[in-house]
Amino acid sequence: MSAAHRVLRPFWTCAADGLPWPCAEARRRLSSNDLAVLRQTMAKLMAIAQGELDDTDLATLYRRFVAWTLEPDQRCAICGSRRHAAISGVAPRLIPCNALRAAIAASDLPGRPSAR
C-alpha cells in the first residue's frame, strides 16, 4: 500500500505524492464520505488553508477545496450562480458569496485588469 494521501500542513501538500492537497487520489477517497459533511469539512479546511498559504487566491482555493464537492447543478443559495455555492452548516464568512463571485469572475479573465 502506498502512503496515506493526507495533508501536510502548513504546506497543504499531499504526504504521499507532494501534489497540492487534496490531490486526485485524496479527492477520490474523500468522496466516499457523506457529501454534505465533506462539503462542510472542505469549506472549513479552505478557510484554514487561506490563513496559512499566502500565494493562493480565493478562486483557486475554492476550486481546489470546495468546487469538486458540489452537485453538478448546485447553485449558490444567495446569488443563484452555478460557479460557487453557499455550504449549509458553514458560516457565510468562510464561503463569502460576493468575494467568490468576484474572484471567480476575475480568474476567468487572465491578463485582464480587475474591474474593481
By CB under 5 A, name the one of 30, 48, 76, 99 that touches Zn ion: 76
14 binds Zn ion (CB under 5 A): yes
Residue whose CB is less far from Zn ion, 6 or 37: 6
By CB under 5 A, name the one of 30, 47, 53, 97 that touches Zn ion: 97
5 binds Zn ion (CB under 5 A): yes
86-90 LR contacts (CB < 8 Å, sep 24+): 87/39, 87/40, 87/43, 88/36, 88/40, 89/36, 89/40, 90/39, 90/40, 90/43, 90/44
Residues touching Zn ion, count (CB under 5 A): 11
23 binds Zn ion (CB under 5 A): yes
Least spacing, CB of residue 29 vs Zn ion, in Å: 9
Number of alpha carbons in the 13 Å side-chain half-sphere of residue 108: 8
Chain-centre distance for alpha carbon 63: 5
17 binds Zn ion (CB under 5 A): yes
Residue whose CB is less far from Zn ion, 14 or 103: 14
16 binds Zn ion (CB under 5 A): yes
* Beta-strand pair 13-14/7-8: antiparallel
Dist. CA 114–CA 44, nearest whole Å: 27
Question: For binding to Zn ion (CB under 5 A), which residues are involved?
Answer: 5, 14, 16-17, 23, 25, 76, 78-79, 81, 97
